[in-house]
Amino acid sequence: MTTKLFGEPVRRREDARLITGRGRYLDDIGAGALAAAFVRSPHAHARVVDVDVDGALDVEGLVAIYTYEDLTGPMAEPLPVLIPHPQLHAPRTGYPLAKDVVNHVGEPVVMVVATDRYVAEDAAERIVVRYEELPVVVGIDAARAAEHAVHPDVPDNVAARHHQETGDVGPALAASPHTLSFTQTIERSACTPLEGKGVHARWDPDDGSLRVYSSTQASTSVRAAIAAKLELSLDRVEVIAPDVGGGFGVKIVHPWPEELLVPMAAIALGREVKWAEDRREHFVSSAHERGQRQEVTVGFDDGGRLTALDVHVWHDNGAYTPYGIIVPIITATQLVGPYVVPVYRVVVESVYTNTVIVTPYRGAGRPQACFAMERTMDRIADELGLDRAEVRRRNLITPDQFPYDHHLTFQDGRPVVYDSGDYPGLLDKLTDLVGWGSVEERRAEAASRGKLLGAGMALYVEGTGPGPYEGGHVQVLGSGKVLVSTGLTSQGQGHETAFAQIVASELGVPIEDVEVTTGDTRRFPYAVGTFASRAAVMSGNAIALAARGVREKALRIAADVLEASPEDLEISDGVVGVRGTPGASIPLRTVAVLSNPLRYAFDEAAKQATQFATHDDTKPPVAPGDAPGLEHRDYYSPLRSTFASGAHAAVVEVDPATWEIDVVTYAVVHDCGNVVNPMIVEGQVLGGVAQGVGGALYERMAYDADGQLQNASFMDFLMPYASEVPDVVIDHQQTPSPLNPLGIKGAGEAGVIPGSAALASAIEDAVGRRVTAMPISPSELYDLVRDPATERTAASARRGGALA
């Protein structure tokens, strides 16, 4: 039994119950609750003329119907803009239920509550909403043209203009030996977690308390939003995240309308009320991401070194901006990647469209940023006839340049200062791992089989662990159990295991004795949430600090019992002992008992802490400034984000008969600082790669000109199966962060960020035609290659590629 577990590949403790059907998800809660269903807009843009509920009133089992007219106080006001920003000059949000106008298909108009979901759906179908259709704006081109406005008081459809600049880009470009200008696009996709959103609420009228279960990534923030909107005292609201079947960003938004409306109904009706999202609802009423157009102009010298970079990003933020402009800010500040960019200007225009809102999706603006920067590196290499890896190497920030200040402002309002890294080391490991030097031989072998082979790579830097804070609480019980709690939530990342490893290592106890609770405001009321690869960095460090506080107290109490100095004591396998003195020890569980001076003995263990068993009349039983119990609460609040990094490479084969794209090799080198659990990190990387492949080759949200989503089901929305996800070879690099006690960086989004960039590079290398938009399907690749207007790469022309 070991207690030094930090860095060990401990098997995930939560998996046994999750994979054997013993998980407790939102829809497992509230079997006898009333059920809610929603009437949602079938139109992308329309005025609500009339809502006729008469047809639903005779449905047996109907309990209540709510429209906007039933909302009062703060509930009748627009939903909050969660992250205001001075450059978000025209923020707009919707209402819990539509008031006057709907701005995307799926916007909630009416809530029905009935004895069960079937009855609620039947009643909802009988409600007649009369609409006056309005002009629809779909896509960035239509938003820019501004022939019609999504919101009448925003006639140009621009919600925000975000600008950051280092140096004077105009003269720098003019003085550059070479310049290139090009446009690239990434289409919309979405999180589509296994479990959609869901809410269950229970009101206790006797003590005026509300308990809400929500499938969320931010239980404490949902709690605050509910209290504010329903005008409840915060201390009377509890929010609990049960097992959450995936989040990936869509569940960080709060409050969703349903998170307010379901509790509102529970209070009004005095009954438990539940709503669980169905799959179509998730497609048309949750959130999407990725839709951006990026106009790049780059200057460089004869050796391929950057001299200036100018980027104009057009970001489709959908109908509203509840999460501010975080996604495009991340694109703007992460676009520079691991490179020295002497002069940089980025302008983001975030525009309204009559489509579902955009909020972070795993990667959160970084895949777009990586696509811009890494495809720029490929363009430079192609223009100069240089190896793509060599061009990258010549531009990389070197280890002796850390901390490296890009003179930009990150999503947390703090400076973009890279804390540590070894980017040339990443590139060296990657080229070895993927066999970069043997690509031409492999290309020839593939050609002999009638296949087109290409290789590509992409490097990235990821800001992780943004503040403002997270907390942790550690308590040792008299039984020897160690209870750990933190406010942020878990959606499958392995927090129960990783946090237990940290505590076991810090406190010197068996991991089997550690129990972890996350996302329960009853256990930990203050937190920010799970997003931006921040759980291990933020809560991991907070929990480590809390465990250190417990350890300090335990050694102090044990020192009195063992008549030794605390500095001479150690804790191992849950026993406090004197170094070098076998037998001079006391179990930690006994220390926990002694930490709580008692008057009454309620069991045998308690006798050890009663007033006549332990008696020292020279000092009070509880020292000034101390507290009963062997427990400690602490918080970690960073100065700024820490920056993880990595490099991906892909080798693809394209069949010119079908234009199917087969990813035959995928290599990843990542650096997330000190690794808590390499098995969990590799799982995160593998899951991210699967989503990266999906975003590059399969997943897109296809809207028509009327704002109707054409593929709002898993029948039509393509995802990679296990057969489409390549085997991934992984290598590790660890450059500890100097910014936090554990020296760790985030890893949750590492796998997805470079996917589109690396695969676009490989596909372009295979077919010799410029790839400027992702995702790309076989039919689109066929059209690209056969269209004489498409640009051929210089590299393919030099080697006389198979496709003329």
Whether residue 716 has pLDDT greater than 80: yes
The pLDDT tens digits of the residues spanning 534-588 come to 999 999 999 999 999 999 999 999 998 888 999 999 999 999 999 989 889 999 9
pLDDT score of 603: 77
Cβ neighbour number for residue 99 with a 10 Å cutoff: 17
pLDDT score of 797: 84
SS3 417: strand
Whether residue 2 has pLDDT greater than 80: no
Give me the amino acid identity at 612.
F
pLDDT score of 311: 98
pLDDT score of 161: 97
Share of the chain above pLDDT 90, in %: 91
pLDDT score of 803: 59
SS3 347: strand
pLDDT score of 615: 61
Whether residue 223 has pLDDT greater than 80: yes
Looking at residue 598, what DSSP letter applies? B
Return d(Cα 277, Cα 593) in angstroms, integer.
47
CA distances from 78 to 257, 297, 631 (A): 10, 40, 42
Whether residue 609 has pLDDT greater than 90: no
Whether residue 623 has pLDDT greater than 60: yes
pTM, to two decimals? 0.94
More confident residue, 5 or 300: 300
Return d(Cα 574, Cα 592) in angstroms, integer.
11
Banded pLDDT at 3 (limits 50, 70, 90): low
Return d(Cα 687, Cα 720) in angstroms, integer.
11
Round the average pLDDT of the chain to a whole number and report it: 95
Cβ neighbour number for residue 352 with a 10 Å cutoff: 25
Instruction: Write out the H or E segment, with its range, that includes residue 161.
Output: strand 158-166
Write out 366-399 in H/E/C secondary structure.
Answer: HHHHHHHHHHHHHHHHHHHCCCHHHHHHHHECCH
Whether residue 1 has pLDDT greater than 60: no
For residue 35, is it left (φ>0), alpha (ψ between -120 and 50) or beta? beta
More confident residue, 604 or 675: 675
Return d(Cα 569, Cα 578) in angstroms, integer.
5
More confident residue, 803 or 756: 756
For the beta sheet containing 569-572, the strands, ordered from the edge strand earlier in sequence to the opposite edge, are 569-572, 575-578, 585-587
The pLDDT tens digits of the residues spanning 398-424 come to 999 999 999 999 999 999 999 999 999
* Beta carbons of 642 and 746 less than 8 angstroms apart: yes
Whether residue 523 has pLDDT greater than 90: yes
> What are the structure tokens assigned to 369, written together?
């940023």
| Cis status of the peptide bond prior to 403, with omega within 30 of 0 | yes
Residue 499's closest CA among 471, 479, 527?
A: 471
Share of the chain above pLDDT 70, in %: 99
Return d(Cα 772, Cα 148) in angstroms, integer.
28
More confident residue, 610 or 705: 705
CA distances from 804 to 539, 659, 662 (A): 56, 16, 22
pLDDT score of 601: 79
Whether residue 26 has pLDDT greater than 80: yes
